[in-house]
Each structure stands twice: as C-alpha cells, then as structure tokens.
Structure 1
Amino acid sequence: MATLFEVPREPFLIDVFERWQEAPQALLIRDISEKKKSWTVENFLYDVLVVRQSLYKSLDLEAQQRLQDPNADVLITVFTNPSYRFAVMVYAIYSIGAIISPISMSSTTEDLKHIVELCNSDLIATVPEFQECSQAVSKLTCTKVFTCDLPPSPPPGSQTFVLEPKGQEISLEKGCLLIFSSGTTARPKGVLHTRRSAIVGLRAQIQNFNLTKSDTWLHHMPVNWGTGITILIMCIATGACLELCAPYFDTEWLLERLQEGGITCLFLRASTLEPIAERVAQLKDIWPISKYDALLNGIRQLRVVCSGALRVSPASQTIWKNLRDGRPLMVVYAMSESLTLVATTDWQYDENLPLECCGKPRPGVVIKISDVGEICVKSSALFKRYVPSNPGANGDIFDSEGFYKTGDLGRLDGGLVFVTGRITDVIDTPGGKISASEIEAALSQHPLVNQAIVFSKVDPKLGERVVALILPKAQGQASRRGDWSGAGLNLSSLHQWLVSNTNLENFKFPTILRVVDAEQELPVTESGKPIKAKMRNIFFDEASIACGDVEMITS
C-alpha cells in the first residue's frame, strides 16, 4: 500500500501537486554535477515533504511560533550551489512559510558572516559538501545549521499525495525571498520580496517565456541571483525539465551539449554572445560535418534565447538572429527588485524594433521617466523593502505614486524602452556631463573590440576624465606592455575611428586607455555586470601607469 503524504495548499506546492497528478514519473530535474542523475516530479514532491518536516524541527520554538504570526518573518539562509538539493530546500522553506535567502558559496567566510548577521538569519541550511564552511559561519554568528542529506528515493508509485484540508493560509504579506542586488557600486543590498510579489512575479515570468512542460531549460546561472532562482522555480511550476550544469558551463561544454539536442530555453550573458557565435563559426572547419550539422540543429531547436543584465549590442542580436534562421534574440530588461521582467523584445517574432531598445513593458508593468531622466517602475511583482530595514537603505526608493526608482537612465519612445545608463555612471567632465554607457556602446562597435568598459578617474588638474578599459577580440589582441599599434587599439586610432564611424562628440572620447589580453578575466558580479571600482583600482593604479600599461593624454 502506498504511503500517503499531505501537500500544503500553497501556490507553488499546488503547482507541483498538479504536475504529479498529470504525470508523476515525468522528468523534472537533471543535475549534470550529480553524474547526470535525474529526478521525476514524484521524487521531487516526496523529497520536499520529507525535508520540510526535518527543517521545521530544526527551528527553535520561538521561530516556529513566528511562522504562525502573519506579521513576523523567519529567515533561512541557504549555503549551497545550483543543485537538485538546493531546489528541494527552496520548496521546503517556502512550504513552512519562511524566507528563502540563497547565498553564493564563492563568498569569503567574512562575507558569509556579514550576510547572516545582516539578515538576522534564524537558520543556515546547507548540504554536506559545505558543512565545514557552514559550521565556521555558525560559530561566528551563533546560528544553527541544518544539513540537507536526502534519503534514497523510494520505488516509483510507493507513495501518493493529497492536498491538505483547507485551513489557515500563510499570509501573502509575509516575506518569501531575499536576494541580493548585483553590488556593482557597493556591497550588495538584500532585496526582500513577499509571498504575494513572488506569486505574481513568477506567474508573469511563465507567461513571458510561454514556458510549458515540453521545454527543457539549460540552467547555468547562479541561484543566488534573481534570474537564476526565478528560472528554477518557474521550470518546476510548469513541469519544464530543468537541466542544471553550472560547474561545467563554458563555451566548449555548451556547444557540445547543444549538438546533443533537446534544449529549448537558454539565458546567455551579453558579453558571451559574440564569442560563442564566433566559436560556432570556427567549429565548421574542425568538427565532422555530421556533428557540426547537429550543432546547428541544436541551436535552431532553441525556442528562447534571452540575454540581459548588460547592454545587448546590435551586432550580437544580428549574429544570433542569423544563427537561428531569422528568429530574434530576446532582449530583457530586469532587476532584482522585480520578480517579473520589466521590458522585453519578443522571443518569437521579429518586430523590426530598433536594436538599441529593450522592447516593450511587460503586461502588468507601468514605466515612467522622471524629470531627471530616471526610469521608474510600478507593478505587483515589486519588492517590499531593502534589508537591513533602515532609513539609509529605504529612504528614497519609491516616489509619491509608488513607483520604484531604478537608478537607470532612459527614455520611452513610441512605447519602447531605451536604457541609456546608470545615474552612478554619469561622468562630470569639463565639457559637460556624459553617460559612460553611451561611450561603451560606441567603442563596442569597433571591429577589434569585444567589450568596452568606461568609467571616470579624477584628475586633480583636469577634473573627471573618461577612462576606457578594452577587452579586444582574440584576433585583435594587444600585448600587455603597450604594443598599441600592433593591435590597432590606441587613443589616436580609437579617436580617429570614433570620428569616422560614430556621432560621438569629441569631449566624450576617452583620454585614458588600457587594452588587456583577450583572455583577461575582469572583476564582475555573478550576474556578469562589471565592478568598475575594482577595475579602476586593478588596471589603472599607479604601478600600471608607471610601467606603461596605461596610455594617457596628459593635456
């Protein structure tokens, strides 16, 4: 006789229950890091309910009582990597009404301690691989550790599930998810979403991608990043197969996997789009014809290829459109503060939109531009507040009409959203205020430039100066010792090229330049955004200037 389990009547759990009713043995998650081990809907639902019980018992009595209070929160910090067990813990934590706060294990012990204390965590949830690190943080913060070590899966069909009898539901205003912003200009901020904004946002995300149980999403993103965890939840909610591959993901692994076929959805960082496409072209002369044809077929099987976080260049959009037989790349405008995409281009139809735009606002999202040109957003999927809850963090984040002030500069033109930069990226030069992203966009059009990062450097005599850090394409690689002419990338040649090929005004041209190796790793956030303060300190310090790695116009 099958063992009976009761499923809490909470939206995301009801989704999984309904998937179990439809097809209990359907493949739900495949984890490449676990030797390609796979789990069915039935496996997942069973594991969530088993972990739920032990997780609840790990909380102290006071925290258990707070779970019943609609006006109080319990927060569980999760130390793990993108994995099946992480997915189980997310749903188990959600099922008891606590806040899920996933943390990157690439962080230092000191950073982990800071986050646990900042969040006032009630519990650290982890897996055996990170037990040592978790215990170290536990000792520093006096926070209890729960280790998720899953039991063997029972035989198929040996358990059955029913929904719990109707009773008191968990308040939709309780906290649900605490994710951290990218932290490009300062230490990351905790972004707190309620159960209401999570449900509204995730439902909208499913519609944004038209995700169904017929899809397979190749998931390589950090799960402590908003996009990473929302992809995970919406795949499980719809029954789409979630293929986790973060430890192995790079260009070579991706192309090998795509030629095997079966992937329908993929998110790629903007900075990787052109290098991946270039590698596809190179493989035409390296791989056997049959294998290369299988790769092209695998790329064409991709129903959705989306990109964002950074500006997606017109060249990248054109290249991927050609790779996919005319189907467009989906450009997304998103942020940690919204659990649904703010604006997108269409994943299915080529609307011949300007390649510089981010598409149209998504249904349920209202956008306006403030008097200073800041993009302001309003929707039911917006976050509640920043953590910690203090006036310094939360004092001026919403305007009088309830619009979130994004910190992005942009414009609305004919119903289309154009993002032109960050307020913090404005450079106040003697010639006037300029946006770093405008210069980055111009430099990125140069045929030898893979990526351009622009920021300011204060000169005691000349004020703020425009600094450019160039990551060249491999064939235009510059030497580390200032062989500018060999690469065709020096201030003189760049200025000439900008005059001939762009409309950029002369006072916006960079006057400080460094060209690094094409393979140089740059400091970026886990979402791929450049950490400009670190770049300034690493690549434009006094030692780099003195040894000639940096080219400067001195007057």
Structure 2
Amino acid sequence: MQHSFPPISPFLELMQSEENTPTTIILRDHSSGMTVTAGQLLHSVSLLRAKLQATLVQDRMYDARNNEGRFIFLVAPPGLEYVVSMLTIFSLGAGMSAQSIAIRPEEMKHYFNLAKPLALLYTPALTEKIEAVKALCAEDNTGSNSKFPFVEIHITYPESSATHTYKSDPSIGSRSEQIGTLFFTSGTSGKPKGVVHSYSALLASARERIETWKLTENDVVLNQKPGNWMGGIFGILPSLISGACLETCAGVFNPKWFWERISRGGVSVFSIAPEGYDRLAEYFDEHIAMLPPARKEIYIHGIIAARFPGVTGSLLLPQTQKRWTDLRRGKPLLNLYGSTEVTLICSMRWENPDYSYMCSVGPAVPGVEVKLVDGEMRLKAPTMFSRYISDDPTQTEKAFDSEGFFKTGDCAEKIGDCYILHGRADIDVLHFWGFTLHTGEIESALFSLHYIANAIVLPLEDEEYQQRAAAILQIKPSFQSKQLNLDTLRNDLTEMTGLMLFKQPTVVYWLREGEEISLTANGKISKTEARKKFFGDGWRCKRSVEVLDLKGMEYWRMGGQC
C-alpha cells in the first residue's frame, strides 16, 4: 500500500528515515508505553488523515485548494497521539491549534468564536471533557459553535511496514505559504490571545534549534512540555526533522521519574523551568544524595552526560545555576530565552559555556535582530509570528514599533554579546520612590538567607510611593519556630547579603503550613495570580500581610542621593 505526503519537512525526513533505517525507534511515548518507527508514524498519519478528511468532506468543511487561515483544534497530551494528529493537520494544509487538556469548556467556546476551526481532534481519554464542550456549544442560540465535527483520535499502525511504501506528492495538502499553528498565550503576563505562525516560520525555528543543539540521529530529546504551548511543539519538530529520538512523558513526569530516566542514560536535550530544577534538586537531596556512592554516581553521571540541559520559562537565579553547576561538576545549565511570538530568541551555547554572568541568556541566535529601547527588548526575526487573534483587532499593529520591531515587554541589558533578562516590565521591574528595582535581584538575595525555602517578589501599587516590592516567603521546616517578621528579614538582608535598603521588600506575606506558590502546567509561576491570591485589593488592611511604615523613613537612609 502506498501512502503520499506533502514534499515538506518533516515528512521528507521521515520518509528518508523509513527508507534508510526502517527499524529505528523515532518516538517513545513513556505515558502510553508505545514506540514507533518513522514508517509506523507515517502510516498512522495517513490513516488518521483519511478519517479526518472524509469527515470534513462529509460536513462540507474541507476544500483542499483553500485552507489558508483555517485551523483544526487538537486536545491531547504531548505524546504519540499528539504527534500523529499534528502531522495529520499539517498534511491537510490546515493550521494546528493545540489546547490545554485542562481547558475549561467556557474557555474553549471562546476560542471557537475567535478561530472558527474546521474541526476538533481529541484523545479518547478526554471524552468526558469534550462532551461538556459539546453541551455548552449546543446551548448557543445561533448554533454557530457546533457546526464542525469532533473527531476522536485512534492510532493504528502495522507491526511491519514491509508492504507499505511512502512517497511525496506536491498535490497533497500542505503548501509553503500555509498557516502552521495558532497558540494561545498562557495569560501569565496579560489577557490570553491567539498567536499565529506561518509554517515556514515553524520550520525556520526548528532548524535553528537543530543547529543550536547540534541534533543528530544519535540524540534523544526528552520533551515534557505541554503541547498547547510553543515549548511543546519546539521539542517535537526538531527531533522529527533531525532524526533524533523524541521521548515524551506527559502524565508520568515528576522528580522521581525524571531522575530514574536520567539514571538510565542517553538523554541529550531537555528544558525545564527554574522552579522545576529547584524541585528536582530537592528530590536529589532527599532521596539520592544518601545512596551508596556507586549507586549515587549513576544519577550524577546521567545528568552530567546531558549535552543541553535547558532553562526556560522564567528568570534563572544564581543559586539555582550554582547548585546545578556543582551537581554537574562544573558544567552549567544552559539558559535560553524565547516567546510565543518569536520562538527562540537567545541561547547559551553548550560548546563553550563560559559566560561572564552565568544567568545570562547568552547571545541572540542567528537571524534574530535585537534592539534595546529604554531597557525593553525589541526584535525582528524570520521566526516572527504573523498576527494575533483576539477581541482587539488592533493588537497586532500595536505590538510593533515604527521600524517593524516587535515590542516584547521584557526588560534586559546587554553585556558584551550576551543579554541579561530582568523580567516582564509589568511584573518584574518596579518603580519605588524614584528607584528602579528588579525583582530577580531581590529574589536572589532572599534565597541566599539560610531559612528561606521559597520566595517570589512582585510589585504592589502604592499611591504615595508608586510601587512597593512585596515578597511571598516560605520558611524551611527546621526554622518554623524562629520568630520572623519584616524587620528581622530586612536586617538579615542588610547584614548577610548587603542588599541596599531601597531594594528590600517593604511588604511581606509569610506562607502558612499547607499554603504554597502554585505553578502552571509548564512549571512557571504566575505572579499575577499570586498577587491576587495573597494580597488582593485591600492588602494594606489584611492581618496576614506585614507592611513597613515608610512615613518615618528618610529617603537618604534608603540609599537615595541627597
């Protein structure tokens, strides 16, 4: 039986891999226990495509000649079902819009209204959620949200591909100018909006990562990122194009699983948020550090052997970098910076990771042009998104300056050819009493105190002092009996870290037993949500919040100049 695919990546590379190394495993789904070769993956795509195409034709939703700007929604964890569905959508010439497996039906309905999809693909494990979405859509008086098919994903492939052949066909779905993806932003830095990328931009970013990571067919890429964010798909495409083995672990990834997988060796590339690295280090200290030396060495050797242990998602603090550099016996974590709109922007290089500041994000990757305007990073790149989809039709135009540079909203400075991030302008950079403060610097000082287990710093609006640096702090269990308050905290910051008074928190919330700073599915902290949860509108009057009275404080004593 012959299966045809569009003459574009990654189909071309998968067909070549099937021809040259037909028994090589190119995807290992740890959650389901399934593995596939390139031929088995292509076969699965061909069958799902036929099913989806037939459904679309039957519902009069499909026109092979004109799918520009048309999206097919996907709800599946990052694994075999996700990859097969993604390639199926691309092979039809449509754009993929992957949604969170935890999405609320009301949110899904809103995205339907914005994107007007051709269909929705979903994994059988999420049938109950999809039925809730269908029911909500059916309540719409106009019925406009329920006029497209919901298609269940079923993966079928032969044990042997000996009787199957694969060829490229220019008449099959995809074309160079087609839409690639529609991702909705996480909402950690503003109201969620849809970000559209062309297919050519997706491939440009994938090839850049192949070059940055030096990926070959001998590598293993471990991808635990949610598939509904850019970080998910950009662990997938580079693997498929380069021939590296992609390992997915949705539903099973946790500190214990990670360390056991690392101990088996072979992992070349992975990326985790800084908060995730902190939790992995905590697990190491509690469960691995006390093992017999020979057994412990297996875990350490595995983590040292990883060529590109990436850091993404939020600011990397010096304490985290030092902890893992020590654990990896002098080999640092490799910090990188990207966004939904531009994908990869800057990256430390593994070949010679000797940077003057080891928490920088390294230089801009090839093809990315950066300029700094009042501390804000602005960008041009071949991987730039095409447009926003949102309730505000002017949002795309407003995102660019008069020279065509994308305004990231991220604050940074350049030292040599490397960039140091200070975070989001609206949540990580604040203005207090005429001073400009960076929350990352304050958080770093807090973490250096021996009794602090976790800390985040964020701005609170203040009519008299512009904004205050507010800290949410978790105390280590062994120091729970220590009498701590805002005054002792500030004294310790002065004596133990040398942090100037004007940079120190003037508002603090001490986490009580059972309370925690929650993380998103991608391992990131949403400071906006944390601010609502622990402070809220009436933060000055809350008994659980300590506020420093600044009325008796002289400006020059805070570190200001007279």
**Structure-2-length-normalised TM-score:** 0.89
Counterpart residue type for residue 33 of structure 1: S
> Kindly tell me: are residues 166 and 529 of structure 1, through their superposed partners in 2, closer, same or farther at Cα, counting changes over 3 Å?
closer
1:245 CA drift (Å): 1.4
Alignment match, 2:100 = 104
Equivalent position of 1:360 in the other structure: 363
Q: CA deviation at 1:542?
A: 8.1
Matched, 1:37 2:39: no
Aligned to 2:495: 500
Q: Name the counterpart of 2:153.
A: 148
Which consecutive unaligned segments of at least 5 residues does structure 2 have? 138-144, 551-562
Aligned to 2:449, what secondary structure does the other structure show? Answer: coil
* TM-superposition CA deviations, 1:345-401 (whole Å, max 9, x none): 12232314312421111111111101x221011110111111137434223111222
Which aligned pairs between 1:326-341 and structure 2 lie closer than 5 A? 326-339=330-343, 341=344
- Does structure 1 residue 376 correspond to structure 2 residue 381? no
- Answer yes or no: is the 8 Å Cα contact 2:222–2:270 preserved in 1: yes
Cα deviation for residue 527 of structure 1 reads: 2.8
The aligned counterpart of 2:557 is: none
| Paired letter, 2:461 | V
Is the counterpart of residue 51 in structure 1 residue 77 in structure 2?
no
Match in the other structure for 2:560: none
SS in 2 for 1:248: coil
Q: Distance in 2 between matches of 1:242 and 1:252?
A: 20
C-alpha spacing 1:165/1:275, structure 2 compared with 1 (3 Å): closer
Match of 1:413 in 2: 415
User: Which amino acid in 2 is paired with 1:120?
Assistant: K
After TM superposition, the structure 1 = structure 2 runs for residues 307-326 of structure 1, keeping only pairs within 5 Å, are: 307-326=311-330
- Equivalent residues, number: 539
Q: Is the 8 A contact 2:318 2:444 kept in 1?
A: no
Question: What is the percent sequence identity of the aligned residues?
Answer: 26
1:385 is matched by which residue type in structure 2? R
The Cα of 1:172 is off from its aligned counterpart by 2.9
- Deviates further, 45-54 or 312-321: 312-321
Contact 2:194–2:388 (CA under 8 A) maintained in structure 1: yes
1:4-61 Cα shifts (integer Å, max 9, x gaps): 2222212221121112122111111222221x22222221111011111112222246
Choose which of 444, 447, 453 in structure 2 pairs with 1:444: 447
Is 1:296 aligned to residue 300 of structure 2? yes
User: Contact 2:319 / 2:447 at 8 angstroms: preserved in 1?
Assistant: no
Contact kept, 8 Å, 1:440 with 1:452, in 2: the verdict is: yes
Equivalent residue for 1:343? 346
SS of the equivalent of 1:468 reads: strand
* 2:196 match: 192
Root-mean-square deviation (CA), in Å?
Answer: 2.5
1:310-339: CA deviation from partner (whole Å, max 9, x where unpaired): 111122222222222322211001111123
1:89 counterpart = 2:93: no
CA contact (8 A) 2:75 2:121 kept: yes
CA distance in 2, matches of 1:124, 1:168: 21
CA change 1:284–1:11 in 2 (3 A) is: closer
Q: 1:260 to 1:184 in 2, by over 3 A?
A: same
Q: Give the aligned partner of residue 509 of structure 2.
A: 514
| Structure 1 residues without counterparts, runs of 5 or longer | none
Aligned to 1:28, the other structure's residue is in SS state strand
Tell me the distance in 1 between the aligned counterparts of 2:181 and 2:189: 23
- Whether 2:237 is the aligned partner of 1:233: answer yes
> Contact between 1:305 and 1:347, CA under 8 Å: does it hold in 2?
no
Of residues 525, 537, 551, the one that matches 2:520 is 525
For residues 377 and 132 of structure 1, the distance between their equivalents in structure 2, rounded to whole angstroms, comes to: 42
Give the deviation of 1:447 after TM superposition: 3.3
**How far apart are 1:544 and its partner, in Å?**
8.7
Does 1:268 find its partner at 2:259? no
Taking a change above 3 Å as real, the CA distance of residues 204 and 530 of structure 1, as seen in their structure-2 partners, is same
The answer to whether the 8 A contact 1:328-1:349 is kept is no
Tell me if the contact between 2:6 and 2:170 (Cα under 8 Å) persists in the aligned partners: no
Shift of 1:450: 4.0
Letter in 2 for 1:180: F
Match of 2:406 in 1: 404
User: Cα–Cα, structure 1 residues 365 and 163, in superposed 2: closer, same or farther, change >3 Å?
Assistant: same
Give the match for residue 140 of structure 2: none
**1:541 Cα offset (Å):** 4.6
- Tell me if the contact between 2:27 and 2:245 (Cα under 8 Å) persists in the aligned partners: yes
Provide the C-alpha distance between the structure 2 equivalents of 1:279 and 1:518, rounded to a whole number of angstroms.
Answer: 20
TM-superposed deviation, 1:403: 1.5
* TM-aligned CA distance change 1:475 to 1:223, over 3 Å: farther
CA deviations over 1:191-224 (Å, ceiling 9, x no partner): 1100111111111111111112111222221111
- Indicate how the Cα distance of structure 1 residues 389 and 192 shifts in structure 2: closer, same or farther if over 3 A, else same: farther
State how far apart, in whole Å, the 2-side matches of 1:522 and 1:92 are: 39
Contact kept, 8 Å, 1:198 with 1:381, in 2: the verdict is yes
TM-aligned CA distance change 1:177 to 1:471, over 3 Å = farther
SS of the residue 1:424 aligns to: coil
Give 1:463 shift.
Answer: 5.0
> Given that residues 451 and 472 in structure 1 are in contact (C-alpha distance below 8 angstroms), is that contact kept between their aligned partners in structure 2?
yes
Partners of 1:259 and 1:292 within 8 A in 2:
no
Aligned counterpart in structure 2 of residue 114 of structure 1, from 104, 110, 115: 110
Question: Which deviates more from structure 2 when the two are superposed, residues 427-436 or residues 7-16?
Answer: 427-436
2:389 partner letter = V
